[in-house]
Amino acid sequence: MGGPVQKESGLNNFYANVHNFFASLDITLPNALFAIGAAVASYILMHGALILFRRRLGRLSEERQHRTIAQVLSKTLARTGTLAIVATAILIGLSVLDLPEPWDARLGHLWFLTLGLQLAMFLHRAVKIGSRRYFLSHGRKPGGVDQQVTVAHTVVIWLLQTTVWVVFMLAMLSNLGINVTTFVASLGIGGVAIALAVQNILGDLFASMSIAVDKPFEVGDSISVDKFSGTVEHVGLKTTRVRAVGGEQVIISNAELLRNTVYNYRRMTTRRIQFTLRASPSTPRELAARVPELLGEIIGKHEKVRFDRAHLKTLDQNWIEYEIVYTMLDADYGLYMDTQQAINLDAMQMFEDLGISTAPRPQHLLIQDPDQRDVRGADQAAANEDSPEGGRPRYLKH
């Protein structure tokens, strides 16, 4: 018999405590029922609006113009949990009540916590989806996804998501009345100290992410930077490995790499060639005038070559110099060298057929004995007069 009596007594005490609690808050039964109704209505409206909004985003995602934004928003709103909607509905119901202090302030803190937490979850999801789409679109290659882009994506998403939650925690502490100024200042000082200690590592890390996003070169590209040239074999978080033309592997930090001018030869579509040919200045004017036209015919007969110009550029006592410019329509270096070799051989044959010499004009060096009459006397001077060469100057032919 004691069990039911004790249970009934406990229920009575519970009801009494609840009644006293609501009485202390000056909440009457009609007010409580109105708050419950407002909470239920708010839940129904928010849940229905979320469903309609998701359907609208689903239709927009089928349109090419709004596909990307609609897909990102749809996947972000998927993080809206039922618990968040229920908590917001309850807070709306409590807000219609005229609560005394300190419950009114506590309700404000709950509002900040609920909305801030949901916003942080939205940003967390949006950062992950947006960065993933961006890096995948910039890192796609025939064999799949670039490993360097995957690593950079992981680092970037971790930094951004950590920033989101740190800002949320600081804002939450500030809303609760905790002074976070000193804490933020200490974080700033600590961050500066850490940044100074690992500035080289951070510089290489951010340079790696810059390479992954901007893509000045990729694995397999032939590049020239500073004093060496080679083929990129690997781009890591700190260094890039390049196989030099001599066969050795050159390892250079990413930050140092981006501080220099990088020439990417793989992305060449054409190659502009400028070279000179020389002939003897004794060449007759009529033959010299024919050379540019003949050079144009020689160059124009080659495939994947566009002849630009040929001119007699320089005329001096030693040479007449022709400047020739043409464009290779294929960037392959081997093809360029084969073509240039063929042009040079044909030019040699052309000069030979025209009888044009490519040797420089002969030069004569005049060597004359100094006047030694004052030193050796008249007898020596007379001996010079009687010598086969006499006192005449001697010529050396070059």
With respect to residue 163, please indicate whether it lies within any of the assigned structural domains. no
According to the 3-state scheme, what is the secondary structure of the chain? CHHHHHHHHHHHHHHHHHHHHHHHCCCCHHHHHHHHHHHHHHHHHHHHHHHHHHHHHHHHCCCCCCHHHHHHHHHHHCCCCHHHHHHHHHHHHHHCCCCCCCHHHHHHHHHHHHHHHHHHHHHHHHHHHHHHHHHHHHHEECCEECHHHHHHHHHHHHHHHHHHHHHHHHHHHHHCCCCCHHHHHHHHHHHHHHHHHCHHHHHHHHHHHHHHHHCCCCCCCEEEECCEEEEEEEECCCEEEEEECCCCEEEEEHHHHHHCCEEECCCCCCEEEEEEEEECCCCCHHHHHHHHHHHHHHHHCCCCEEEEEEEEEEECCCCEEEEEEEEECCCCHHHHHHHHHHHHHHHHHHHHHHCCCCCCCCCEEEECCCCCHHHHHHHHHHHHHHCCCCCCCEEEEC
With respect to residue 19, please indicate whether it lies within any of the assigned structural domains. no
CATH number of the domain within which 325 lies = 3.30.70.100
Rounded to 5 degrees, what are φ and ψ at 11? Answer: -65, -40
- pLDDT per residue over 241-286, tens digit each? 999 888 899 888 888 888 888 888 888 888 999 999 999 888 899 9
Same domain (yes/no): 337, 380: no
Same domain (yes/no): 282, 313: yes
Structural domain count of the chain: 3
Same domain (yes/no): 237, 300: no
Last residue of a domain, one of 248, 264, 280: 264
Rg (alpha carbons) of the chain, rounded to whole number: 44
The boundaries of the domain holding residue 246 are 199-264
- pLDDT per residue over 167-192, tens digit each? 888 888 888 777 777 777 776 776 67
With respect to residue 139, please indicate whether it lies within any of the assigned structural domains. no
CATH number of the domain within which 231 lies = 2.30.30.60
With respect to residue 107, please indicate whether it lies within any of the assigned structural domains. no
Q: 103-139 and 67-77 helices cross at what angle (nearest 10)?
A: 140
With respect to residue 236, please indicate whether it lies within any of the assigned structural domains. yes
Q: Of 28-37, 38-47, 65-74, which one has max mean pLDDT?
A: 38-47
Give the angle subtended at the CA of 338 by the CAs of 334 and 344, to the nearest 5°.
140
Last residue of a domain, one of 216, 232, 264: 264
Q: Greater confidence, 319 or 201?
A: 319
With respect to residue 303, please indicate whether it lies within any of the assigned structural domains. yes
Q: What is the pLDDT of residue 128?
A: 83
Report, as an integer, the average pLDDT of 80-85.
78
Rounded to 5 degrees, what are φ and ψ at 55? Answer: -65, -40
